[in-house]
Structure 1
Amino acid sequence: MSAQPAVHTSFVIERRFAAPAALVFAAWADGAVKARWSTCHAENGETEYSQDFRKGGRELYRATLPDGRPQSVEKVFFDIVQDRRIVFAYDIEAGGVRLSASLVTVEFEPEGDATFMRLTEQLAYFDGYYDREERLHGTAEGLDRLALEVEAAGAH
């Protein structure tokens, strides 16, 4: 691809979970739990996942796309406030080509035994790549799985 100007966009997803904020936050912080609900494109062959959940820590996800290209998602955590906020940046590469970079803020507001969560993602797409609707859809699907995860755990 030739170097083209980056294309910028953003989206916000808000959800209420029938689970306390500490439980919802923990589902982001615990790598094993997060891997269960957040795996993007579960039909891909995941080859590696790791998470070091701390300020300055990293998360890595590698998979093989259906067309055989390797995909890599690398995150770095910039701000973590227990049970209240997570800020991270991540980029996506496929077949050795960087497709996008994002800044994400996830905020948790306790509402008694429930949690209001707001996820704001700001994206920069590179060299003609653009998948905002797919990204929004995939993120929403992951949050649906998060709801199932935390609401089942909160019921016990």
Structure 2
Amino acid sequence: MKLKDIELTVDNHFVAMEYYYLILNRTFLVIKSKGLLIGIQGNGLVSVEGGKDILTREITSNMAIKGDLTNPYSYLKNKYLEKIADLNLPDGSIVEANKTNFLIKLSDIKSAIYNPSKKFGMGPYPHDGRVTIETYDNNKREFIILGNQSGEHIAHLITTK
């Protein structure tokens, strides 16, 4: 099963950001399919535009999201998705291609909890809180639900087998 073979619907995917190492972040297209949550990195570091000097403004401008911020697809960059377009999503080759990508078996998920609180540091980027996924081995991942998506719906989507 390849990315280009999947018809994306409201009931099989979402776009979310995950913070790591405190201030760094990465954006994912997360697909629910064949008993898995398949996470495909869809963007690198994202920043809010700004800064007092010209260099900072230039750097943050290059990392800022442009376009309709309520559209979750605005947060994805084709160059990331094109790298895995011809790979078989469930077989692990996407993780070999990019260690940031992930596969989580739905049967390994203990809970997906929706927290409607806004995530500190998101600036002007609209988001519908966070969904924290916990696996039976006590690993947790917190996803910030970007744009006009329902975190409550996504938590339900993840836990519905």
Q: Identify whether the pair has TM-score above 0.5, normalized to the shorter chain.
A: no
TM-score in terms of structure 2 length: 0.26
Q: TM-score, normalised by structure 1?
A: 0.26
